[in-house]
Amino acid sequence: MDTKKVAIKADSNETIRKNKTMQDQDFTTSFFVDQTPKTAFDAINNVRGWWSEEIDGNTNKLNAVFNYHFEDVHQCKIKIIEMIPDQKVVWLVEENYFKFTKDKTEWTGTKIIFDISKVGNQTQIKFTHQGLVPEYECYNICKDAWGNYINNSLRNLIETGKGNPNGIGKPQTENEKKLGSKTK
């Protein structure tokens, strides 16, 4: 057997193993609410109502692009690439900037997925940030932020009509408070 082909095959298997391992480590969280899938879908697309007041662009239309920023700490450009009413929303992070990481573009090319499903009398919202993996320098800070925005702010918006988004001078997590104060 040609050793070049063996090496290529071995490298290819290693790449598959690494990709599978990284996919298995994507950040995921979920919760249940007593509201309808439509209520959850509408709330997810009201990004200013649960994630950030600092959003520019349309957040509820397929192929729309919007920009998120939190002070000068985090900025990203996101495209809505899939939207199935009352079932699913998928965003693609086209550009990203973190002030606090060596690789400023860690989220670039990752997908943010909201799966909505009816389970018994409740609606389940499953959030996955595909590509946000523990190897990333931002992972712990991002995991903390997403945990807050999804499990608290988005859930509150769905259940009560009022979320807790960040905004100018309104950090919502301890890390946002620390990172925001470092930039002043």
Residue-wise pLDDT tens digits, 116-164: 999 999 999 999 999 999 999 999 999 999 999 999 999 999 999 999 9
**Distance from chain centroid for Cα 130:** 8
pLDDT reported for residue 30: 97
Residue with tokens 């200013």: 48
DSSP string, 2-29: -HHHHHHHHHHHHHHHHHHHHHHTSEEE
Q: Is 110 left (phi over 0), alpha (psi -120 to 50) or beta?
A: beta
| DSSP-derived secondary structure letter, 163 | -
End-to-end CA distance of the chain: 63
* Residue 24, pLDDT above cutoff 80: no
Query: Nearest Cα to 129, choosing from 90, 173, 156, 74?
Result: 90
Q: How confident is the model at residue 78 (pLDDT cuts 50, 70, 90)?
A: very high
Strand partners, 30: 126
